[in-house]
């Protein structure tokens, strides 16, 4: 009798608490879910610290969101009603999916940034002249190699695109200075006259040293990319919308470009930048098209939407087809600054003017003369002065663009500006 009464009392107590008969296994399952959520939260926080690309207030918001979801799941699991515990399970699943996905995204981005940076830094390669990239102006030399990924190691690396990208983070201004590929310059090592495009055969350090000797411009970093890298990066950001001042048909592939705005994927964009025959072989027009492509890429890449949702894809697309000697920490600082202040950049362009001629080049047979581009001295001087001007703008304490360091304040201002 006593045993029956005791069993009945236990049953009544369970009934009054509204708990199921198998309460211990259920509680263990809820504790396991909370433990998994805690582990996921720790992994996410570690990746946030390692990547160090999110503004402080955005990071704090994500931490508060995590704590809120953890607390909500705990309270729901402890609820007396079945629907509460079901809601707790939903919160736990959402939490795990969201923050595991975010941690994986950040981990992949970090690894690829390190890989890209390491591939451009070597004992014999050009050393970076590092600066505080969020405060001090700097120059990046962009060299485009005329080969596809499948041709790496099988063909010479000629420097087909040559551009100095001057960046002033104080004034949010970028100046793109293009140098035609056939520009006739004195090689840094051999001290003989040759086409600038041929410096790529001897390595990117030869290209940088030659341009520095010739123009007297300090080049802090370089970015080297081939055709495959350019195509894949543009595809990773879902293409670009670019204005063409003239209509033409590609002589290399079956692509046509209208006068006006053109929505372009990576390959179409690449052949737009490579076209020369449609303009009578004039490289000067091709240089202008290359500037339009890079300008459109920079505009889209620095938009808040692209940075927050596509940055990892862009970095992965670069893969082994892009190299730079910019340390990964400097790249992260630039991304963090852009996500924080959401600024539009003022992008200006210029190019070295000159005229075509024929002359001997050091890297080819001395029995024949080849087409070369003789740069105009006054044009070189003017371009150098414009680079110096952008580098020195906003040097005063009160000069330059001052923005709040709060992501949410700048985002609200951006929304209001767009409405106006």
pLDDT tens for each residue of 97-138: 999 999 998 888 888 888 777 655 444 567 889 899 999 999
Percent of the chain with pLDDT over 90: 56
By the 8 A CB rule, do 252 and 272 touch?
no
For residues 154-171, give the mean pLDDT: 89
Show me where the domains of the chain are located.
Answer: 24-115, 121-419
- Confidence band (pLDDT; 50, 70, 90) for 400? low
pLDDT at 399 over 70: no
Arithmetic mean of pLDDT, 180-209 = 94
Whether the pLDDT of residue 308 is over 90: the answer is no
Q: What is the pLDDT of residues 294-306, one digit of tens each?
A: 999 999 988 867 7
Average pLDDT in the 221-232 region? 92
Identify the weakest region by mean pLDDT among 41-45, 149-153, 181-185, 388-392: 149-153
Q: Is the pLDDT of residue 80 over 50?
A: yes
User: How many Å separate Cα 336 from the centre of its chain?
Assistant: 11
Ramachandran region of residue 344, left (φ > 0), alpha (ψ -120 to 50) or beta? beta
Mean pLDDT of 390-410: 73
Output the pTM of the full model.
0.83
- Long-range pairs for 395-400: beta carbons < 8 A, 24 or more residues apart: 395/170, 399/170, 399/171, 400/170, 400/171
Banded pLDDT at 19 (limits 50, 70, 90): very low
Q: Which of 21-30, 223-232, 240-249 has the lowest mean pLDDT?
A: 21-30
CA distance 420 to 416: 6
Q: Average the pLDDT over each of 23-32, 55-64, 266-275, 357-366 and give the range with the smallest value.
A: 23-32
At 258 the three-state DSSP class reads: coil
42 φψ region: left (φ > 0), alpha (ψ -120 to 50), beta (else): alpha
On the CB side of 255, how many CA atoms lie within 13 Å of its CA?
A: 19
Mean pLDDT, residues 155-162: 84
134 close to 334: Cβ distance less than 8 angstroms: yes
CATH match of 121-419 with 3.10.450.200: no
Q: Please say if the pLDDT value at position 31 is more than 60.
A: yes
What pLDDT is attached to residue 68?
Answer: 95
- Low-confidence winner among 14-23, 59-68, 221-230, 269-278 (lowest mean pLDDT): 14-23
Higher pLDDT, 126 or 192: 192
Q: What is the pLDDT of residues 309-354, one digit of tens each?
A: 787 888 888 876 888 889 889 999 998 898 888 888 999 999 999 9
């Amino acid at each position: 009798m006593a045993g029956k009464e005791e069993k009945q009392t236990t049953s009544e107590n369970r009934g009054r608490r509204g708990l199921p008969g198998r309460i211990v296994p259920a509680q263990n399952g809820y504790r396991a879910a909370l433990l998994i959520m805690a582990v996921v939260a720790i992994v996410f926080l570690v990746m946030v610290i390692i990547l160090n690309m999110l503004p402080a207030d955005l990071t704090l918001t994500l931490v508060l969101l995590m704590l809120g979801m953890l607390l909500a799941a705990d309270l729901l699991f402890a609820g007396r009603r079945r629907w509460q515990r079901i809601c707790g399970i939903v919160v736990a699943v959402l939490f795990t999916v969201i923050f595991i996905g975010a941690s994986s995204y950040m981990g992949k981005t970090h690894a690829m940034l390190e890989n890209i940076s390491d591939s451009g830094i070597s004992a014999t390669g050009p050393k970076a002249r590092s600066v505080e990239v969020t405060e001090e102006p700097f120059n990046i030399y962009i060299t485009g190699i005329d080969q596809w990924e499948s041709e790496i190691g099988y063909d010479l690396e000629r420097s087909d695109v040559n551009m100095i990208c001057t960046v002033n983070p104080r004034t949010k201004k970028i100046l793109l200075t293009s140098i035609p590929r056939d520009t006739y310059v004195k090689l840094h090592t051999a001290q003989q006259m040759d086409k600038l495009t041929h410096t790529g055969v001897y390595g990117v350090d030869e290209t940088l040293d030659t341009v520095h000797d010739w123009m007297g411009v300090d080049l802090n970093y370089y970015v080297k990319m081939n055709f495959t890298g350019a195509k894949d990066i543009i595809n990773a950001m879902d293409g670009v919308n670019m204005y063409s001042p003239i209509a033409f048909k590609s002589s290399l592939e079956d692509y046509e470009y209208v006068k006006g705005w053109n929505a372009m994927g990576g390959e179409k964009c690449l052949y737009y930048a490579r076209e020369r025959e449609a303009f009578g072989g004039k490289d000067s027009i091709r240089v202008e098209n290359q500037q339009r492509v890079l300008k459109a890429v920079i505009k889209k890449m620095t938009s808040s939407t692209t940075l927050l949702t596509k940055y990892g894809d862009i970095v992965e697309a670069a893969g082994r087809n892009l190299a730079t000697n910019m340390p990964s920490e400097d790249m992260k600082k630039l991304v963090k600054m852009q996500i924080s202040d959401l600024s539009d950049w003022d992008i200006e362009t210029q190019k070295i003017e000159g005229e075509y001629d024929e002359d001997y080049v050091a890297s080819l047979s001395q029995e024949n003369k080849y087409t070369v581009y003789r740069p105009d001295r006054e044009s070189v001087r003017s371009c150098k002065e414009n680079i110096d001007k952008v580098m020195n703008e906003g040097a005063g304490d009160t000069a330059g663009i001052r923005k709040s360091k709060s992501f949410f304040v700048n985002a609200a201002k951006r929304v209001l500006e767009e409405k106006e």
